[in-house]
Amino acid sequence: MSTVSNPILPGCYPDPSICRVGDDYYLVTSTFEYLPGLPVLHSRDLVSWEQIGHVVDRPGQLDFTGIASSGGLYAPTIRYHDGQFWVVCTLVDQRDGSRGGNFLMTAKDPAGPWSDPIWLESFGIDPSIFFDDDGRIWVHGTRLALEPRWHDQTEVWVRELDRETMQWVGPETVIWHGAVEGVVWSEAPHIYKVDGTYYLIAAEGGTEFHHAESVARSDSVTGPYVGTRGNPVLTHRHLGRRHPVVGAGHADLVEAADGSWWAVLLAMRTYGGYHYPLGRETFLVPVVWEDGWPVFAPGVGKIPDEVEVPFAGTPTPGVVQGAASGVVPPADLRWTAVRAQPSEVATPAGEGWDLPLRPATLADLEVPAFLGLRLQHRDADLTARVRADLGQGEEVGLVVRQSEKDHARLAVTADGDVRHVRVVHRQGGQERVLGEVTLAASADAPLVLGVRARGADLQLLAGVGDTAPVVVATADATQLDTVATGGFLGLWLGVYGTSAGAPTQTVAHVERVEYAPAG
């Protein structure tokens, strides 16, 4: 037996979905505008997880042109059937909805390569897929109700899919609106068959404080479904906003090889008041069956801080679980870019990257010169060593990123052998300078730039060479999280460079980036 601490995936790993193949578990999460998209994680015991690849990991698989922050890839589902892995997901373009929709991808190996998308003639979000015992395939998902009785009423639909043609078979059936009258956003539906009965679990209440998980069952995959009198079967909304974990929901079930049942789900850890700068994280909860219904976190009724897994050995938490400290090499699967693959914006160079500056800024709906990592700890340090011969109007630095409208950047510009360093907080599209310093440094002198996160305080530091970096200013993480800004993302820390609209040949040489949890 082994014990795992929640969350099992710290940092912005939202909307988890899981499947088991033999003794192996595979999990995927949402990534929105960041690429590579949809990380694939592997475990043998639900305790220790390792990232093995991404579903969207090459240029051209999906068009991310102009995708705004908190758009992009929403709520994937992963399943395994007849020797093949399947992922269904949604590409969301929030500008006008003219692009995107539901799609599926397949792979023989979950580490990849995954196929190009097969687009489904359906609409909405959070698609899932169910393979029945008779070989029939059923896709289901959520959309705004076509004839709503209240604002933001949604409906869960199900429809058969032909495996050979990937076309719909027969009519669509609406099977659920939520367990609570007047509930908003009944979403993240998943269908399972247990002992001959079909079960539907779905989140409701919106992916924030009122989030909850409900369950219904039926004798037929197309319903009618009847909810348990115990709905919602898991929520933290009754615990209040001062509880350290809020927003529990968006669950997916898996049966272990020993017959035990488990759920992965999202929730948020608050700090700095009712704020969650780390975003929506992945948690693990035990499940048992009583009177023909699933009971989440039996005897506790909420997400436990620690979970005992009887069949797990000695835990060996991996990099993705926040256990790593030190240099993050280019091959590390945590690296992401915005609206493009990292290989499209930078070239690996030793322990770091050569990052050509781009005209796009971090405020533009284009592809910026940016490489980033999820913030996975309340207390952590990120340090980057960068060399750049900057021209007039050019800028390199570090950024704490929520979106193009909301971020705090440590911006370096050059004037001969002088480096001007400013901390700029972009809030709702408006910018203000929090602090600035001047450093003496030649063009080939390495800049040492850092972010020191201590709870809600984000100190941004700058120095040259071996001199100790100085604190330029402190940003407030509670003004950058989704409670303050909207959207669905936790914070990212990254390096960037821009020529602010002008053509450029300048390359920022990112010699290395180190990430270390503090304490």
- Domain shared by 262 and 364, yes or no: no
Same domain, 137 and 235: yes
Query: Do the Cβ atoms of 73 and 37 come closer than 8 Å?
Result: yes
Question: Dihedral through CA 328, CA 334, CA 338, CA 342, nearest 10?
Answer: 60
Q: Which amino acid is at 19?
A: C
User: Residues 409, 396: contact at Cβ < 8 Å?
Assistant: no
Task: Classify each residue of 420-436 as buried b or exposed e, where b means 16 or more C-beta atoms within 10 Å of its C-beta.
Answer: ebbbbbbbeeeeeebee
One domain for residues 37 and 164: yes
pLDDT of residue 94: 74
- 418 plus 295 within the same structural domain: no
ω into 224 cis (within 30 of 0): yes
Rounded CA gap, 384 and 40, in Å?
Answer: 27
Domains contained in the chain, number? 2
Whether the CB-CB separation of 249 and 215 falls below 8 Å is answered with no
Look up the domain containing 106 and give its range.
2-321
> Are 369 and 455 in the same domain?
yes
The confidence score (pLDDT) of residue 98 equals 66
Q: 417 with 312, same domain?
A: no
φ, ψ dihedrals at 507, nearest 5°: -120, 130
Decide if 118 contacts 103 (C-beta within 8 A). yes
Instruction: Indicate the burial class of 311 (C-beta count within 10 angstroms; 0-12, 13-18, 19 or more).
Output: middle
Catalytic residue check, 187: yes
Distance CA 66, CA 69 (A): 9
Single out the catalytic residue among 33, 57, 126, 187: 187
- Tell me what pLDDT residue 99 has: 77
- Which tokens go with 462? 């700058």
Please list the pLDDT of the chain residue by residue as tens digits (519 residues): 899 999 999 999 999 999 999 999 999 999 999 999 999 999 999 999 999 999 999 999 999 999 999 999 999 999 999 999 999 999 999 776 667 899 999 999 999 999 999 999 877 999 999 999 999 999 999 999 999 999 999 999 999 999 999 999 999 999 999 999 999 999 999 999 999 999 999 999 999 999 999 999 999 999 999 999 999 999 999 999 999 999 999 999 999 999 999 999 999 999 999 999 999 999 999 999 999 999 999 999 999 999 999 999 888 988 999 998 999 999 999 999 999 999 999 999 999 999 999 999 999 999 999 999 999 999 999 999 999 999 999 999 999 999 999 999 999 999 998 999 999 999 999 999 999 999 998 878 899 999 999 999 999 999 999 889 999 999 999 999 999 999 999 999 999 999 999 999 999 999 999 999 997
Of 269, 301, 321, the residue at which a domain comes to its end is 321
State the burial class of residue 211 (Cβ atoms within 10 Å of its Cβ: 0-12, 13-18, 19+): buried
CATH (domain of 490)? 2.60.120.200
Q: Which of 321, 337, 358 is the last residue of a domain?
A: 321
Contact present, 512 and 309 (Cβ < 8 Å): no
Please check whether residues 274 and 331 belong to one and the same domain. Answer: no
CA dihedral 219, 221, 226, 229 (to 10 degrees): 90
- Distance in angstroms (rounded) separating the CA atoms of residues 243 and 487: 22
Are 179 and 244 part of one and the same domain? yes
Which of 267, 298, 321 corresponds to the end of one domain? 321
Cα atoms found within 13 Å of the Cα of residue 391, Cβ hemisphere only: 14
Angstrom CA distances, 161 to 118, 164, 173, 197, 329, stand at 12, 9, 13, 21, 42
15 classed as catalytic: yes
Whether 273 and 406 share a structural domain? no
224 and 124 in a common domain: yes
Say if pTM beats, i.e. exceeds, 0.85.
yes
Please tell me whether residues 387 and 449 are part of one structural domain. yes
Q: What is the CATH number of the domain that holds 228?
A: 2.115.10.20
Per the residue annotation, which of 15, 126, 213, 281 is the catalytic one?
Answer: 15
Q: Are residues 374 and 305 in the same domain?
A: no
The pLDDT value given to residue 96: 66
**8 A C-beta contact, residue 124 and residue 106:** no
Length of the chain: 519
